[in-house]
Amino acid sequence: MVKNRFLSFAAAAAIIAFAGSATAAPITTAPETIVANGNVKLVYIGALAGDKSYLSLAGGPSKIFCNNAMSGCAASTAGQVADLGTLSGPLVFTMKDTSVINLFDTANLASDGFYHANVVSNYADLGIFAEPAGLDALISSLSSGPGALVRYVGFEDRLHGDYDYNDFVFAVISTPLQNNPVPEPATLGLLGAGLLGLRLHRRRRA
């Protein structure tokens, strides 16, 4: 089940500001595989696209986020969070452009011979628009658990497009589940006493 939380940011309008990228080019090497081992949350960052597209998890929920309003899906806002629950193994996210009916994912080449997803560990490495105010703090708080992994994903929505990978942008946060706590000495003592008592009881019956 996907749960969305809406957070307001005073400077969310900064989504339209470019960080400046004169090096936009199609990606020819496979993006990093996103691997989950625990709780997975997604944070919608934004988009610079006129096309209507939505994000899904392969084998999982559909229309997690929508960059623009469409049938059955309201336009997502910067800072919106989706909790995907506990997942393990490789995650493949898909983006469907319903304006021109394109479907791209984070793992496979498109028919134009390029990858349409860029996966990085540092938002600035996407080389796209400035991160909306407040999102860095939000993502930091959601990834504060031990071993948490954060990846930023930017999609290009059209075949033979501009390959700027800013048409659908979100963050993936995977936080490992905590192991069961080590029993305290007192607990171990009680367990030992119980086993000893059981052994004596068996001897008496024998």
Please give the Cα distance from 175 to 38 (Å, whole number).
Answer: 5
Q: Per-residue b/e over 147-182, b at no fewer than 16 CB within 10 Å? A: ebbbbbbbbbbbeebebbbbbbbbbbbbbeeeeeee
* Contact predicate 82/89, CB 8 Å: no
**What does the radius of gyration of the chain's CA atoms come to, in whole angstroms?**
23
> Given pLDDT bands bounded at 50, 70 and 90, which one contains residue 49?
very high
30: number of Cβ within 10 Å: 13
Which amino acid would we find at residue 141? S
pTM of the model: 0.78
Cβ neighbourhood burial of 87 (10 Å; 0-12, 13-18, 19+): middle
Mean pLDDT of the region 61-67: 97
Which among 132, 157, 159, 126 has a CA at the least distance from the CA of 54? Answer: 157
> Given pLDDT bands bounded at 50, 70 and 90, which one contains residue 202?
low
Domains of the chain: 3-205 (2.60.120.400)
- Give the list of residues 6+ apart from residue 169 with CB closer than 8 angstroms, or none: 44, 45, 46, 47, 126, 128, 129, 152, 153, 154, 155
pLDDT tens per residue, range 176-199: 987 544 455 554 455 555 555 555
Supply the pLDDT for residue 186: 54
Average pLDDT, the chain: 84
pLDDT at 27 over 60: yes
φ/ψ (deg, to 5) at 38: 145, -150
H helix intervals, the chain: 135-142, 185-205
Supply the pLDDT for residue 80: 98
Supply the pLDDT for residue 24: 76
